[in-house]
Structure 1
Amino acid sequence: MSPDSLWSGLLHLATAMVATDTPSLPALGLTQLWLHVGWGMVLAWLGCVLVGWWQPHRAAFLTVAAVLLASMWLPDPWSPAYWLGLAFQQPSLVLVLLSTRLLLRCLRKPAPPWATRRAPQPTRGLAPLAFVGVLLGWALLLDSFALLSLPVSLYALGFSPLAVALVAWVSLGLVLSSTQVGSRPVAWAVPLAVVAFVALRLPTGNVWDAVLDPWLWLGLHGYLVRVVLRRY
């Protein structure tokens, strides 16, 4: 192989890695399914959190979760998913995965009465991953207002294979480098979201939307504040 053909092949590969003109989008039916399932899991978890403040019983959790999940399938405009979709589009894969894990924790068999209950504390092992998410959110926000001097739109870059590889590499590296084993089950939500994104392209075909959304971004701010206050 001549040097010219090798250089041409590498240039073609680099161009394909950053290409954003032909994005791979999810199927329309899958998008509609995700709208109901995704918001259903998020609302079911939030409902269990609210109920747990004054009625922390498994039967109450099961009832609230079942009602909220079933309400997502009501006809429009009676379905909460309809209004949530209009206001906030679709939740990210990471938010739904985290909500599902926390919901299952609420629904599992409660601890015996003699067990000591402690308030959940932030795990510092997740702080680097949360910090990267916060930085990414600010970068996307500035990019949406054209305040970043970049040769290509940062959000549009999320449709490229390069962005998918970058998110997978950074998230996997942060998970494996965490010294707190207890934080890893939650941290694995990001690599798992990337795998699901590659297979399903949910929710929009853009990898940034798969790993981050406005509500998750705000939650990461609160998480980092709790970590700082607990540390100092």
Structure 2
Amino acid sequence: MSLPDLALQIIYARIAWGLIAAAMLLSVLPTMLPRIFPQLARRSKAIVAVTIAAVMALPGEASPAYWLTLIFQYPSGLLAGYSLVALCARWTEKPVDFLLHPAFALALTLVGAVLYLDAFGVLALGLYYRGFDADAAALLAGAAALAGAAAFTLRWAVSGGAALLASVLLFSLLRLPTGNLWDALLDPLLWAWAVGSVIVAARRYYRARPARSPAAELVPVSVPGSGVEQL
């Protein structure tokens, strides 16, 4: 398995962290500063995006991407893909949900839990290192691409499918971000986002369930021939 060039990784980190920061800022600015940003116009969005790109492109330690990479490592291609999809949606004034699709969130949560337990030595399966194996990575990348294409074309989860296809394509062509397929599909920030999405989705499902009152459960039932009603 070939590894990406360090210079290419640095360029990727600048672009990926810029996409993530721009997507986050454009989502929270109207909430944090409603008087200044009641509704972001395209000019305001362009100013925010250009400013973030210029700051992230600063050389060496002057760039926030340098410190973010030291703390969180390289962001996954899937997280960068989600950020790009969110930016495109906000640019075209389409509604954007803060939560991941429940199916994608649950899959990422389970896969991330197994990988992190494996990395900590709890399971000791060596799954992460198989992401460097050419054959295993090719099979997993093909399965991920098929899942992303199905989700996109069948309209199950358009944003998730597009982001998944983008991350697989980025890894297949350039081996970014690290040469390991798992790093292209998952990172700690994305996993935390997926766990939060699963929790919120579970709470919404629980609240949406029809409430059954105790009086409705205690329905008298007549026993034939006894003249007595049982509960």
- The TM-score, its normalising length taken from structure 2, stands at 0.77
**Unaligned stretches of 5+ residues in structure 1:** 1-22, 112-117
Instruction: Determine the structure 2 residue equivalent to 1:229.
Output: 203
How far apart are the structure 1 equivalents of 2:180 and 2:121? Answer: 19
**Residue 156, structure 1, aligned to residue 129, structure 2:** yes
Shift in Å, 1:178:
8.3
Instruction: Determine the structure 2 residue equivalent to 1:40.
Output: 18
- Which string of whole-angstrom CA distances, capped at 9 and with x for unpartnered residues, describes residues 10-62 of structure 1? xxxxxxxxxxxxx3101222111101111111111111112121212223322
How far apart are the structure 1 equivalents of 2:12 and 2:188? Answer: 17
How far apart are the structure 2 equivalents of 1:85 and 1:121? Answer: 23
Higher Cα Rg: structure 1 or 2? 2
Shift in Å, 1:86:
1.1
Give yes or no for contact 1:92–1:213 (8 Å, CA) kept in 2: yes
Structure 1 outlier segments of 4+, above 3 Å: 118-123, 177-180
How far apart are the structure 2 equivalents of 1:70 and 1:119? Answer: 25
How far apart are the structure 2 equivalents of 1:78 and 1:176? Answer: 42
- Which string of whole-angstrom CA distances, capped at 9 and with x for unpartnered residues, describes residues 136-155 of structure 1? 111111111111143xx111
How far apart are the structure 2 equivalents of 1:52 and 1:87? Answer: 28
Letter paired with 1:61: K
How far apart are the structure 2 equivalents of 1:159 and 1:209? Answer: 10
Match of 2:176 among 197, 202, 212: 202
Match of 2:119 among 132, 144, 154: 144
- Which string of whole-angstrom CA distances, capped at 9 and with x for unpartnered residues, describes residues 174-221 of structure 1? 752689726224323213311221111000000000011110111011
How far apart are the structure 2 equivalents of 1:86 and 1:102? Answer: 25
Shift in Å, 1:93:
0.6
How far apart are the structure 2 equivalents of 1:170 and 1:94? Answer: 11
Give yes or no for contact 2:109–2:195 (8 Å, CA) kept in 1: yes
Letter paired with 2:118: D
Match of 1:57 among 21, 27, 40: 40
Give yes or no for contact 1:41–1:100 (8 Å, CA) kept in 2: yes
Task: Give the RMSD, CA atoms, in angstroms.
Answer: 2.5
How far apart are the structure 2 equivalents of 1:148 and 1:162? Answer: 19
Shift in Å, 1:127:
2.3
- The TM-score, its normalising length taken from structure 1, stands at 0.76
**Unaligned stretches of 5+ residues in structure 2:** 207-231
Instruction: Determine the structure 1 residue equivalent to 2:188.
Output: 214
How far apart are the structure 2 equivalents of 1:60 and 1:189? Answer: 25
- Higher RCO (C-alpha under 8 Å, 6+ residues apart): 1
Shift in Å, 1:100:
0.8
How far apart are the structure 2 equivalents of 1:204 and 1:90? Answer: 8
Instruction: Determine the structure 2 residue equivalent to 1:9.
Output: none
Match of 1:184 among 133, 138, 158: 158
Q: Which moved more, 1:178-187 or 1:73-82?
A: 178-187
Identical aligned residues as a percent? 33
Q: Which moved more, 1:162-171 or 1:201-210?
A: 162-171
